[in-house]
Amino acid sequence: MDASLSDSSVAVVTGANSGIGRATAIHLAEQGHLVFGTVRDKGRATKLLAMAEERGVEVLLVEMDVADDESVRQGMGEVLDAAGRVDVLVNNAGVGGAGVAEDTDTATYLDTFNVNVCGAVRCIQAVLPGMRERRSGVIVNVTSIAGRIAALAQSPYVASKWAFEGLSEGLAQELAPFGIRVVIIEPGVTKSAIFAKTTEVAGATAAYDDHYRRLFQFYAAGLTQATDPFEVAGIIHHAITTDEPELRYVMSWGAREIVEGRERMSDREWVALGMASDDEEYYDRFRELFGLDLRTG
């Protein structure tokens, strides 16, 4: 198979109602793809529809909750009935949230994994039979830099994204004999509702106040320079159409600095960063290790 796909392919973008998902659905439609955007509630997709209309394109809405088996069966079945095939699946739907391990109950871990990992698996399983039969297709998994580095005080989110990275790496080998490509998208801080929601922690233990404050400071710094989600959408389009594909694409504010910084660090240095006695020491050390200034004042 040719590694690239034409711009007339059928694409499904999950979590299309905001952020990267909305931008990707609209951008792929602008490039000539037939795009189905999945949303949990069509009634709340007014901004998506308005932006698509403003840009002169159409995104076909499919009501679907990736956290539910039957909902995915019905939603993906609706797409296949309408279009006959899926050439590109963009697994973007996800949830975030802050919490250290001691503060986070197991139900939260399970809910986070159910959306961020199992949700993608449900969609992948729905499209793979057809892709294997045609011996073509691209599966795009939107993970995060939190899938490459254990971002502070986001334990369930980090754990789910590391799992999603592992699933994606394995999937790439599993599907290579069938001419199906896997793409891993690793954004840093991008303009998205997921970051706006990461502003408080329920039931936080006071012992971890420093951790949460530094987490929120990271987002405060990032959001002042957050990347437009349409830039990420452009990279996704490139990844699914290029003749020279890569497995991983790192983009958005702070992403490359953090990924490359962690690769340079020893595990001893990583652990020592968590031992910073005050915020100023932490911010100084963070800048030394990653080249990013978290101070916003």
Active site residue 283: no
Instruction: Let me know: does 191 contact 19? Beta carbons within 8 Å.
Output: yes
Instruction: Let me know: does 145 contact 259? Beta carbons within 8 Å.
Output: yes
**What average pLDDT does this structure show over 86-97?**
97
The crossing angle, in degrees rounded to 10, of helices 119-134 and 155-175 is 10
Kindly report the CATH class assigned to 10-263. Answer: alpha beta
Instruction: Let me know: does 219 contact 197? Beta carbons within 8 Å.
Output: no
Per-state percent for the chain, helix, strand, coil, to nearest 5: 55, 15, 30
251-267: per-residue pLDDT in tens? Answer: 999 999 999 999 999 99
165-212: per-residue pLDDT in tens? Answer: 999 999 999 999 999 999 999 999 998 766 555 556 767 789 999 999
E strand or H helix at 90, and its extent? strand 88-91
- Please report which confidence band the pLDDT of residue 6 belongs to, taking 50, 70 and 90 as the band edges: low
Entry pTM: 0.94
Distances (CA, A) of 73 to 69, 79, 117, 271: 6, 10, 16, 43
Active-site residue (options: 157, 212, 249, 282): 157
pLDDT at 199: 56
The domain limits of the chain are 10-263
